[in-house]
Amino acid sequence: MAPDTVATRLSDAGFPLAAVATYVTIAIEIGASIALIFGYRVLACCSLLAGFTLMTSLFFHQFWAVDAAQRTGQTINFLKNLSIIGGLWFVTRSTLETRSLARGIACSAEAAWAVRAGGAESSRPCMTRTGTSIALKSSGKSLAEKAAIQQY
């Protein structure tokens, strides 16, 4: 779609400075997509793109408010955008889980380093996932608590 057409649709919807908003939108879509591809600021890019896609769906693909001739096309576009939002949510969730796992591994390494150095285990509780069990690395937990957590 040409930028002039998009600017016309934005001005028809009541957006102020529609031409500027069109080019800002194009910059955000392209910039955030490229940043997401290269893994730069994944959470921010996913949030920005998901919010933008949600607003686009709600403002421009109102299948419930159009006539029967346009209803099918608008419904398809609305559902497509919901699928995109779901994919962005999946990427966000995967990124958060990876960070959580990386934190657990780093925490486990910190505890192992403290033991090798001759000191006690780290005082902060660290959880690491090993296969299907979770090991808690903390000197403050009793054996019964550690066993209960291991069975999880």
Q: Is the pTM of this model over 0.85?
A: no
Segment 9-28 mean pLDDT: 87
Between CA 104 and CA 127 the distance in angstroms is: 6
Write the CA distances from 137 to 43, 85, 98, 127, 146, integer angstroms: 29, 37, 19, 6, 9
Interval 26-73: pLDDT, tens: 999 999 999 999 989 999 999 999 999 999 899 888 889 889 889 999
| CA dihedral (89, 105, 35, 38) positive or negative | negative
